[in-house]
Copies of this chain bind each other. A is one copy, B any other.
Amino acid sequence: MAKIAICGYGTVGSGVAEVITENADNIARNAAEEVEIKYILDTREFPGDPFEKYIVHDFSIIEKDPEVSIVIETIGGTKIAYEFTKRALLAGKSVVTSNKELVATKGHELIAIAKKNNLNYLFEASVGGGIPIIRPITQCLAANKIDEVYGILNGTTNYILTEMIKNNASFDDALHQAQSNGYAELDPTADIEGLDAARKICILSDLCFGKHVNPADVRAEGIRGVTSADVEYAKRLNCKIKLLGRALRTGHDTATAYVAPHLVSKSSLLSNVDGVMNGIVVHGNALGNTMFYGAGAGKRPTASAVVADVIDAVKHVKARKYLDWDDAPAGYFTDSAYVASRWYVRAATSLQQIGWAFDKVNFVTYPGAAADEYAFATDVYDENTVRKLTSGMTVRSMFRILD
């Protein structure tokens, strides 16, 4: 019998309690041991809640109870969550989390503490919600040298873009709709500005390439700049606009990562990853491309990933999972501006000026396009070059095209 404590009884925490109770038989079969909730830590009371009797308010009760072997951290943020994770590990308990911010910023340190104490710090739910991605990368692709990983990592922004594409909604209307459907928070900044995706691409980069990337180093461009006009032009390029996080090796022991809207071809799998779903593509030197798709957020999907980690932790008590990365040497992280791609450009300018700047572009238009602008797809350039080439134009939008 494995006894666990859930810290943070919000959406994910309550989902974990639900899934552990509902699927108890399956879980016991897979963990080869029954898994039982002993405590749920939260500052609030939950009168009438089915799990009310487990509620405690003092972390030290959990910390000091030797029966608790696994602590689930679903608090979020990097303050209390960090403190409790550290204390749990130092008290000899494995920790499972869905907290991407904490993993992206302090993961390496917390793994080191876990390692030293022969415990596990597991975080499958931190990227892609319920989608199995951390374990496939670290185990199933273990025979590969991974070159690149990218994908739709944020469900809120994907929902907004999908509404703009499918239902011709404006950005503001789509955001409002996401909020009233519970897909976007009241303060949606972390999603809209690409910060959430940046944390996730850091974790993926850490695991795929084995070196720590600091979220603060990652350039994140969100979707506030995507307009209905961009959506229409993109359609004529047979593309959809998707917010992608992307990390790639850029040379011998160098890598980069960034978050930005991209034009994605409609014939690609990612283009059909719509609504709140996530899709993550990994390229390995033996396997080629592989993609993982599923619900990137939500109570039960995320809980599903957390509980999978709990099962793994139960099976590996006192046996470490190999889940780790090194500190990055100086110069490891390079500027994503050097990554070359084709570009979509929408600018108020003249044909003549475009002709001066570019050898060859592919123009598109649509009924209702603004009369004072041109939209076109360029050849392959790095970001600095395309900025230089368009410097004489009033650029209204400029996004990479993923080929």
A residues near B (Cβ < 8 Å) are: 15, 19-20, 22-23, 26-27, 29-32, 124, 130-132, 135-136, 138-145, 210, 267-269, 271-273, 284-295, 298, 300-301, 303-308, 310-312, 315, 319, 322
Contact = CB atoms under 8 A, between A and B. Distances in A.
B293 A290 contact: yes
A135 B140 contact: yes
Contacts of A286: 15, 19, 22-23, 130, 300-301, 303-304, 307
Given A32-B322, A269-B273, A272-B268, A141 B288 contact: no
A-B residue pairs, 9 tightest by C-beta: A132-B140, A143-B307, A290-B294, A286-B304, A30-B142, A291-B293, A132-B136, A287-B304, A130-B287
Given A132-B136, A294-B287, A311 B142 contact: yes
A142 B293 contact: no
Given A143-B311, A287-B294, A289-B294, 19 more contacts: A20-B143, A26-B145, A27-B143, A30-B138, A130-B286, A130-B287, A139-B308, A140-B305, A141-B308, A142-B308, A143-B304, A143-B306, A267-B272, A269-B273, A284-B304, A286-B300, A287-B300, A290-B294, A290-B295
A141 B132 CA distance: 8
Contact of A143 (B23, B136, B271, B285): B23
Contacts of A271: 272
Nearest to A289: B294
Contact of A303 (B143, B291, B295): B143
Nearest to A274: B267
Contacts of A20: 143
A293 B295 contact: no
B291 A287 contact: no
B288 A140 contact: no
B144 A140 contact: no
Contact of A294 (B138, B291, B308, B315): B291
A210 to B, nearest CB: 8
A293 B294 contact: no
Nearest to A138: B30
